[in-house]
Structure 1
């Protein structure tokens, strides 16, 4: 009827011949987002389908944009980019996240702390946090030069420390719980030298006919040759003494021809100690002197 307007008190109607009530108008005004200085609560959802979802923030000379990859779970990637007034774009690109793996974005101050140049003057006797460092304040091996660098591996109650200086490398460790004082650590051990790459004392040797070979594990191999008359027994001294013990000595006699059925030849050892042993030779078909070769192992 002319002059009469039907009112609608909802926000969901699609009617074209009805007017909104004042109450619904107030609701729209109360819930709108202002162009300046407003507050929103709850979740704001922006869905752009197959296009990168973007939020833009203007500046005096361009704008920042946050971009989100539309592939979603297949990519898990976002970027920041700045568009200046000339149209040039500068990006901060984040690598795609791996599913179920959380990542930490570090502040520059934290990154700087991880730089060994910024980790000098530490006390190695109490330091167990994994890190690089230079020029420790205390706890370092006394043989290093003034300038040195190092690495700490492990955690509070199981830790190793490595120091490099002057072409040499030292290492020490501890499994005290907790590690808190100098006595908790092993002695510093030099494992590399500046010329040979390995510490020569760990591979000390003598290539003489009566010689030896030291191994890094502490084992020592020794060998030699003696001449013995038949049915004799003589004392033999090792080229060097074993620091702890000799595990075993083997000996072999040099026979210049094939053995015959009735031949009996025996080489044997006894009186084994850290410094030497006795070697004997018995036979029933040879006369004179024969060379015997021996081999010993210990540590």
Structure 2
């Protein structure tokens, strides 16, 4: 921050105080840019019906932060500076009222837009006393004694405008476009015959740049990166306040899930629609989101050309990569199984247990096939005849392979034989 230096005994100059004002303004502007960036932001400026209700609305006090010339016109004795731009603060100290007129055609409605911009406004005009060198005891009224009133304050203001849309059949009316240099804040919709405006007639303009709270509150609550999502089970939409302008690597968005997903999920974050993948960087399957669950997603530009990674959703299942070490979480798919009279169970270590029943033909060799082939080897095979009446000889195992086995039945009758095979 620059500071003017003034010396004792030096003749005071007009620019001494003016430069102090200018340097302070620039310092505050740079601080604002560090806090908010250079995109237009606002605080406060809420819109509400009058009380009692009428065909008017009030925009309440607030501030706007917007990039503007240091000085678009001369600031007293300091020349205009249109070479440099800074983030200026416009202030609205008192609520501003806007009267709304309902359309005159039956069945019609009309949208009104309230828009805002920063304004430098020279105000508080006063006839000032000037030094009269010809007669020092008699001051001039105004420059050279001409009696002209001059502004004494360059006010940084919020300039609000009401823009009327074109009335049309209810449901087909449109909101007017925002004027260049302005930002849209509020849209008020009124219908033919309406005599009062309620809160239900007032909605935020899309991507309205009003901060939801103070910066300190935003840090404490994290409300700048949180939203309640809308959409369907597999297509989520979040509208952050203020609206997200661009994605950055590692950026986290938190939101309340609209539903339990039934398959792969996409997320529209206001910038566009992107895929959501799980912790193993694969598309979601179902149940990773739970209705009203708190979801955390993080942007990763290297996955699938850019995707959000679902870190967690409370109440939902968590996708993990395949386990390869003893303390890794295990995927259900690593416990592949087919449960039945003949089936198998896979384990993450690679071990497979298979079982089943075959009928061993009398006095002959019988082949059996495993439910699935062992990838590498069948380590052991246990065969047990089912209980039958009368005496019988033991069943013999002849051979085994990764796909099956053969048995020898020395008995004169066929026998049902249970088997358990272990392999990997």
Q: TM-score range by the shorter chain?
A: 0.3 to 0.5
Larger radius of gyration: 1
Taking structure 2 as the reference length, the TM-score comes to 0.26
